[in-house]
């Protein structure tokens, strides 16, 4: 198919043996001499003023070295320049149950834990807000005083003429959809180890080194410099192996700052590792989202208008919130051809852990609503759901109505693949009751065209150093968090230089060693770091080619780099193949000889037509001295989107596309939904490493299924009821269906070898595909996720005359979700719910509404 | 709490360790012996990332006291590689995308390794049942199961080759 030697080949991850043997190091696997263990004291209140903190009893405990509180590091930070609203530890007040109040650094974990109990904190409870629509009405006790109505940010966009579009439509469908809150739950709990050196010149505390489980080492370096008032050059951030991120580690998590602040005060290295429960509190997951959606279509299936009002329950801090709410609107475009769009987005603050970026950032919940509603529209006009999607395709290259540039577009082929694979035409609508098929599509950016901190700086930079014996070292700031970015960089360099993967070393994500890369988020790494690597490798190759061309008496363009060799075009082909077949050991021997007596050897040989890679490198080095290639990537200006307010979020140099079909059955007795199989097709431009692409696509579909079927954060009075993997119900292997992945290659004109993103775009379609399949199976339209047995049963019963209605909690109709509920209506928490102890500090708060009291104890 | 002296046999080597009587095996392995391959990913023994084998049986090291493992053969992920090379299972995990972030991998490795030494040719149901004790958030298990099956095939071919 292609004439690449490394690209497109199933390649084992370069770091996979470390993972398989347990020798690979994650942040918590490091320790340094004299290291202390840090433990954080969290707030028991959702919203309260801190009147006094007294740590004297804790400090008196033997083994406690330091206690830090908010006043030790009051500088504000946040991942977005517009959202600097966090401090290392609470200053003045706490804003959610689990907010960070103090940190103890002690010689052991058990002592640190004991010391936490000895810190006396006096709180004054304030009115707390848990429901975003209530929170928006707040006039007093604002969560951040500078945000009136607890609205972090609202945007109102109009593209085209939505009213005209509705007027032209034959069918207009309106509905409210609610997607409950989910979190990443990466297997590795966050961990940070911070250690200061003593400066040789001043004799005082000097440079800081931080090992942290992060997707964004350079942003961490930046935020640490803000909080600690240190120049960035004095801070070294090292990202070891990271045990999964999914967005959870794509911003600065409190412990990363707290560990450094504690190390500064304790004058000793401090390591903090979250417990699983703390990971849930740190959160930064996908917000609960209310989507009021209205779609107008014509009888022929063409979409005329979409109007969406989106309210996100953002939690207590801004985090990525402003970006999330913008993505939700912007990514209404670029999947289908929609001429008119109205978008009203509200990012609302509530007294719960902050939501942030999670796989499919911003697009997932709105996509669930849209793809569900499109299915309803298809049913109303009597069109096949796959056909209505085909009816609304974009015609790239094009600019969407909201100024997104689309060039490569594999969606039609994706739809075709899953329709064929699932035998859609034969089976859809013909399955027995209780079994159904559903289709849905989604897409995602290949990196944001505008970085968080607006500048013209390149988003990725790579240095490649070639050694005299033909070893190649790639220095990249990109963060491999398990998705395989180091491997992709190695493959790209190997392909360009025509050398084997074995020659390549990747040194990544160490701010002292590697050039800057803005991090692993918004699926940007393959595209942007890949392009930077490509350019760096080409630069190195150019130097080699120029030197070799001189010796071969030809122009550099006439040289072919492949199979660890360099030869002149037209040189006797068969001898090249013979040489390629010979064991590479001989290459090593030759390399040894060359180092000693290259001049002599050259004289003996005269003009050559062919060289080993080592020989070519030595030839170049004799001229250049050193051999380094550098490359960078910045998205082109025409991909950076419109000029409207908020227009910076959504544009990307390229979009990935996905289509999925779900095959489900619904047990009408128990309400249980079983997914039998998912067919998922993903347009990733070009699959640089098919194993990795399939892994990413399957993994994101799987995570989408989690949100579709069982995962949800259940709250009661701002307290998370299920902060563990078991109660959060992360699926195990037995509960996970077969997912068949089709790779579609649309070869993007700008991606490295045509590649686009593969890790996020498929997640969003999984949820509506299942919702649509449930509708096909039993005729209920679930507009609230996840589709737990309780919700399915409640919806089924509400349809059946005479059946006993299922009373979940107020406004529980999952076909018609009215507003937010304090908890999700899951079986284990239905009715009375778990009652908190009367003396539980979180209960003693003003403004406890009658409603809450009722949920607490009273009426079922 | 004052420390006591215990003797643990880990990966065929005996170690004398001073630890508090309430030390968990996981902490003892990670902190006292520096065997950080076994991971912790939960607080309630639900994830399986810390799985080790005690006398060949997969067990959660976060739910065992180090003291209670004296006199038993403890095998951790560090003891799985064969003669300094990857075992067939480890190799297959690399080739088939069995691990992405790899944090769950050591635990799965110990679970599957025990399954395969008991049942060299397991059915799909047996593989599924064994895997259900461990959680992964990256792979969706599909490629992991492919890797396990590939390892079984490789082992069988190896054995067949040895017989021939
Ligand atoms: S650490 Fe999760 S089961 Fe042991
Ligand atoms: S590979 Fe990341 S959790 Fe399994």
- How many residues are given for chain B? 164
Residue-by-residue DSSP string for B13-32: EEEEEEE-TT-BHHHIIIII
As given in the structure block, the two tokens for residue A451 are 């970085």
Residue A580 scores a pLDDT above 90:
no
Question: In a mutational test of the pocket of ligand 2, which residue from B101, B106, B109, B144 has the highest number of ligand atoms less than 8 Å from its CB?
Answer: B101
Pairing state of beta strands A120-125 and A48-54? antiparallel
Q: Is the pLDDT of residue A44 over 50?
A: yes
Distance between CA atoms of residues A671 and A790, nearest Å:
7
**Rounded to an integer, what distance in angstroms lies between the CA atom of residue A664 and that of residue A674?**
5
First-to-final CA distance of chain A: 64
The shortest CB-CB distance from A734 to any of B98, B128, B139 is to B128
Q: Write down how long chain A is.
A: 860
Nearest CA to ligand 2 atom 4: B136
Q: Is B21 at the interface with chain A, CB within 8 A?
A: no
CA A292/CA A308 separation, integer angstroms: 6
Mean pLDDT of B31-54: 97
Contacts of B19 (CB under 8 A, 6+ apart): B3, B4, B6, B28, B32, B66, B67
Segments making up each domain of chain A, as ranges: 31-126+188-243+249-282, 152-183+284-451+640-778, 457-633, 788-857
pTM above 0.90, yes or no: yes
Q: Does A24 touch chain B (CB under 8 A)?
A: yes
**Are A152-183+284-451+640-778 and A457-633 the same fold in CATH?**
yes
Contact between B141 and B87 under an 8 Å Cβ cutoff? The reply is no
Section B32-43 average pLDDT: 96
Counting from 1 in the atom list of ligand 1, the atom nearest the Cα of B39 is 1
Asked, as a colleague might, if the bond just before A397 is cis with ω within 30 of 0, I would say: yes
The model's confidence at residue A428, banded by pLDDT at 50, 70 and 90, is very high
> CA-CA distances (angstroms) from residue A293 to A181, A495, A685, A821?
19, 47, 31, 20
Helices (H), A315-402: 321-330, 364-381, 385-391
CB A360 within 8 A of CB A696: no
Radius of gyration of chain A (CA): 29
Identify the CATH class of B88-163. mainly alpha
**CB B102 less than 6 A from any atom of ligand 2:** yes
The C-alpha angle A645, A649, A655, rounded to 5 degrees, equals 140
Token duo for residue A569: 């075009």
The CATH code that applies to domain A31-126+188-243+249-282 is 3.90.1170.50
Which pLDDT value is given to residue B162?
Answer: 63
Q: Reply yes or no on whether the pLDDT at A452 is more than 70.
A: yes
pLDDT over threshold 90, residue A445: yes
* Alpha carbon of B159: minimum distance to chain A alpha carbons (Å): 22
| Percentage above 90 pLDDT, chain A | 85
* CB-based burial, A676-707: b 16+ in 10 Å, e otherwise: ebbbbbbbbbbbbbbbbbbbbbbbbbbbbbbb
Q: What are phi and psi of A536, to 5 degrees?
A: -65, -40
Give the dihedral of Cα atoms B79, B83, B87, B90; nearest 10 deg: 60
CA B123 to each of CA A734, B99, B139: distance values in angstroms, whole numbers, following the listed order:
13, 22, 21
What span, in angstroms and rounded, lies between the C-alpha atoms of A666 and A295? 28
The reply to whether CATH 3.40.50.300 applies to domain B4-79 is no
* CA gyration radius, chain B: 16
Check residue A850 and give its pLDDT: 38
**A-chain residues within 8 Å CB-CB of B131?**
732-734
Average pLDDT over residues A132-138: 94
- pLDDT at position A254 over 90: yes
* Distance between Cα A251 and ligand 1 center (Å): 26
Is residue A444 within 8 Å of residue A328, measured between CB atoms? no
CA distances from A524 to A91, A310, A612 (A): 35, 26, 35
CATH number assigned to the domain covering A457-633: 3.30.365.10
At residue A848, does pLDDT exceed 60? no
Could you tell me if A15 lies within 8 Å of chain B, comparing CB atoms?
A: yes
Restricting to A residues 454-513, those with a Cβ less than 8 Å away from any Cβ of B are 481-484
The CA-atom distances, in angstroms, between A59 and each of A71, A122, A817 are: 17, 18, 51
The residue extents of the domains of chain B are 4-79, 88-163
> In the predicted model, what is the mean pLDDT of residues A78-90?
96
- Do B88-163 and B4-79 fall under one CATH topology? no
Longest C-alpha distance within chain A, in Å? Answer: 99
In the three-class reduction of DSSP (H, G, I as helix; E, B as strand; rest coil), residue A152 is classed as: strand
Residue B46 near chain A (CB below 8 Å)? yes
CB of A429 closer than 8 Å to CB of A384 = no
Residue in B31, B104, B142 nearest the CB of A187 = B104
The pick from B30, B37, B48, B132 for probing ligand 1's pocket by mutation, whose C-beta has the most ligand atoms within 8 angstroms, reads B48
Query: Which residues 123-152 in chain B show a CB within 8 A of chain A?
Result: 128-129, 131-145
The verdict on a CB contact (< 8 Å) between A484 and B100 is yes
Q: What is the pLDDT of residues A590-635, one digit of tens each?
A: 445 444 455 555 555 667 789 999 999 999 999 999 999 999 999 9
Nearest to A323 by CA among A564, A156, A541, A83: A83
- A410 pLDDT above the threshold of 70: yes
What CATH code would you report for A152-183+284-451+640-778?
A: 3.30.365.10
Tell me the average pLDDT across A519-525: 95
Task: Kindly report the protein residue whose alpha carbon is nearest to atom 1 of ligand 1.
Answer: B40
More confident position, A841 or A551: A551
Least confident of A20-29, A164-173, A789-798: A789-798
């Amino acid at each position: 198919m292609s004439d690449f030697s490394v690209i497109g080949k199933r390649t084992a991850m370069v770091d996979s043996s470390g993972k398989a043997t347990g020798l690979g190091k994650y942040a918590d696997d490091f320790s340094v001499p004299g290291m202390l263990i840090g433990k954080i004291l969290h707030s028991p209140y959702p919203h309260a003023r801190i009147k006094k903190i007294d740590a004297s009893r804790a400090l008196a405990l033997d083994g406690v070295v330091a206690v830090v509180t908010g006043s030790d590091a009051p500088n504000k930070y946040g991942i977005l320049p517009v959202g600097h609203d966090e401090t290392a530890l609470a200053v003045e007040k706490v804003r959610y149950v689990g907010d960070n109040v103090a940190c103890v650094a002690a010689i052991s974990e058990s002592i640190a834990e004991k010391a936490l109990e000895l810190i006396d904190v006096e709180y004054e409870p304030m009115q707390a807000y848990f429901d975003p629509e209530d929170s928006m009405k707040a006039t007093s006790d604002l969560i951040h005083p500078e945000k009136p109505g607890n609205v972090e940010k609202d945007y109102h966009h109009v593209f085209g003429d939505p009213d005209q579009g509705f007027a032209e439509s034959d069918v207009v469908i309106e509905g409210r959809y609610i997607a409950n809150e989910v979190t990443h739950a990466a297997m590795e709990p966050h961990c940070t180890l911070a250690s200061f050196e003593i400066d040789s010149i001043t004799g005082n505390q000097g440079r800081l080194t931080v090992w942290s489980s992060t997707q964004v080492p350079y942003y961490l370096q930046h935020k640490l410099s803000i909080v600690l008032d240190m120049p960035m050059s004095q801070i070294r951030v090292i990202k070891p192996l990271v045990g999964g991120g999914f967005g959870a580690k794509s911003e600065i998590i409190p412990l990363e700052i707290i560990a450094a602040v504690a190390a500064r005060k304790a004058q000793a290295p401090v390591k903090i590792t979250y417990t699983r429960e703390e990971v849930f509190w740190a959160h930064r997951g996908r917000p609960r989202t209310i989507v009021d959606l209205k779609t107008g279509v014509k009888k022929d299936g063409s979409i005329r208008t979409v109007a969406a009002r989106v309210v996100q329950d953002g939690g207590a801090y801004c985090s990525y919130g402003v970006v999330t709410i913008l993505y939700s609107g912007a990514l209404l475009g670029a999947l289908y051809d929609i001429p008119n769009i109205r978008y009203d987005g509200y990012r609302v603050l509530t007294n719960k852990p902050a939501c942030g970026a999670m796989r499919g950032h911003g697009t997932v919940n709105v996509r669930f609503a849209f793809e569900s509603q499109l299915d309803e529209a298809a049913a109303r006009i009597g069109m096949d759901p796959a056909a209505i999607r085909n009816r609304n395709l974009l015609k790239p290259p094009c600019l969407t109505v909201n100024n997104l540039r689309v060039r490569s577009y594999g969606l039609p082929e994706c739809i075709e693949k899953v329709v064929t694979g699932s035998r859609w035409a034969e089976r859809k609508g013909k399955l027995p009751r209780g079994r159904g098929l559903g289709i849905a599509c989604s897409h995602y950016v290949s990196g944001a065209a505008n970085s968080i901190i607006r500048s013209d700086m390149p988003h990725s930079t790579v240095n490649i150093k070639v050694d005299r014996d033909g070893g190649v070292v790639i220095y990249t700031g990109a963060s491999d968090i398990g998705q395989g970015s180091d491997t992709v960089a190695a493959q790209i360099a190997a392909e360009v230089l025509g050398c084997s993967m074995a020659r390549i070393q990747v040194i990544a994500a160490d701010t002292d060693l590697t050039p800057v890369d803005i991090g692993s988020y918004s699926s940007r790494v393959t595209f942007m770091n890949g392009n930077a690597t490509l350019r760096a490798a080409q630069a190195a190759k150019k130097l080699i080619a120029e030197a070799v061309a001189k010796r071969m008496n030809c122009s550099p363009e006439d040289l072919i780099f492949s199979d660890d060799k360099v030869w002149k075009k037209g040189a006797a082909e068969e001898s090249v193949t013979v040489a390629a077949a010979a064991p590479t050991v001989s290459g090593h021997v030759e390399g040894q000889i060359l180092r000693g007596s290259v001049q002599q050897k050259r004289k003996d040989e005269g003009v050559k037509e062919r060289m080993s890679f080592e020989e070519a490198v030595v030839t170049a080095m004799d001229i250049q001295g050193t051999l380094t290639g550098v490359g960078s990537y910045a998205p082109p200006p025409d991909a950076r989107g419109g000029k409207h307010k908020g227009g910076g979020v959504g544009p990307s140099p390229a979009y990935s596309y996905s289509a999925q079909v779900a095959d489900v059955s619904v047990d009408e007795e128990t309400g249980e939904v079983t997914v039998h199989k998912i067919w998922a097709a993903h347009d990733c431009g070009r699959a640089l490493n098919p194993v990795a692409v399939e892994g990413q696509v399957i993994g994101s579909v799987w995570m989408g299924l989690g949100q579709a079927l069982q995962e949800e954060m259940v709250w009661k009075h701002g307290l998370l009821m299920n902060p563990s993997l078991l109660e959060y119900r992360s699926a195990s292997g037995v509960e996970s269906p077969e997912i068949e992945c089709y790779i579609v290659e649309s070869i993007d004109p700008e991606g490295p070898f045509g590649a686009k993103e593969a890790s996020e775009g498929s997640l969003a379609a999984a949820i509506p595909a299942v919702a649509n399949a449930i509708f096909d199976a039993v005729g209920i339209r679930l507009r609230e996720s996840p589709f737990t047995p309780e919700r399915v049963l409640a919806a089924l019963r509400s349809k059946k005359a005479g059946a006993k209605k299922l009373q979940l909690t107020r406004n529980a109709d999952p076909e018609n979700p009215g507003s937010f509920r304090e908890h999700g209506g899951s079986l284990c928490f239905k009715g009375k719910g778990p009652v908190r102890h009367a003396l539980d500090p979180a209960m003693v708060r003003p403004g406890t509404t009658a409603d809450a009291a009722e949920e607490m104890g009273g009426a079922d | 709490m004052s420390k006591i002296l215990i003797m643990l046999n880990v990966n065929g080597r005996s170690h004398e360790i001073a630890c508090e009587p309430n030390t968990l095996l996981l902490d003892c392995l990670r902190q006292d012996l520096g065997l950080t391959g076994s991971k912790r990913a939960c607080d309630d023994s639900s994830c399986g990332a810390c799985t080790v084998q005690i006398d060949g049986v997969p067990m959660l090291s976060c739910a065992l006291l180090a003291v209670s493992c004296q006199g038993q053969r403890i095998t951790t992920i560090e003891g799985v590689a064969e003669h300094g090379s990857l075992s067939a299972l480890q190799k297959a995990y690399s080739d088939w995308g069995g691990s992405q972030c790899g944090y769950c991998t050591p635990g799965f490795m110990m679970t599957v390794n025990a399954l395969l030494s008991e049942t060299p040719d397991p059915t799909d149901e047996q593989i599924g049942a064994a895997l259900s004790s461990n959680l992964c958030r990256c792979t969706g298990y599909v490629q992991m199961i492919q890797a396990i099956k590939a390892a079984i095939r490789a082992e069988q071919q190896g054995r067949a080759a040895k017989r021939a």
